[in-house]
Structure 1
Amino acid sequence: MHDKPLFYLLAICCLAVVVILATGIGGFAKGGEFNRKQGNRIMRWRIIAQAIAIAVFLLYLWVRSG
């Protein structure tokens, strides 16, 4: 029962990664000034969000196994 909050946190992290990725892909597809200024920053945030999601996932697995 104590792993449910971690599951919700994991779902939120995955959703955040998807939103950041969609924003980056959309900006890349559209091109222009937004992509030129924000493209690299958005993809850096995606990598950070993915690392956090993986850490939460590993924590969730560890809690479930114990």
Structure 2
Amino acid sequence: MQTVFSILLGLAMLATLGVMFAGMFGLARGDGNGARSNRLMRWRVILQGVSLALFVALMLVMRG
């Protein structure tokens, strides 16, 4: 079970990083598309929450 949580945590962290880079590249390009920026920000927050929840679950599995 620990391995599953570790893999899922890694995937969630990579997805968060990917969304962050997509947002940064959009800002650097000067897109000016506010709706896209808001959507990426929403996904970043959701993925960070998922990553945090998986981290807590991993710590609980390792503890017990």
- TM more than 0.5: yes
Mapped pair 1:56 → 2:58: no
Identity of paired residues, percent?
33
What do residues 6-63 of structure 1 show as CA deviations (whole Å, max 9, x unaligned)?
1000000000000000001110111125x33301110111000000000000000000
Q: What root-mean-square deviation, in Å, do the aligned CA atoms of Structure 1 and Structure 2 show?
A: 1.1
Unaligned runs of 5+ in 2: none
Write out aligned runs for 1:32-51 (5 A): 32-33=31-32, 35-51=33-49
Figure out how many residues of one structure are paired with residues of the other and give that number: 64
What is the alpha-carbon distance in structure 2 between the residues aligned to residue 8 and residue 32 of structure 1?
34
What is the alpha-carbon distance in structure 1 between the residues aligned to residue 12 and residue 49 of structure 2?
10
Distance 1:31 1:37, change over 3 A: farther
**Greater length-normalized contact order (CA 8 Å, ≥ 6 residues apart):** 2
What is the alpha-carbon distance in structure 2 between the residues aligned to residue 45 and residue 9 of structure 1?
17
TM-score under structure 1 normalisation? 0.89
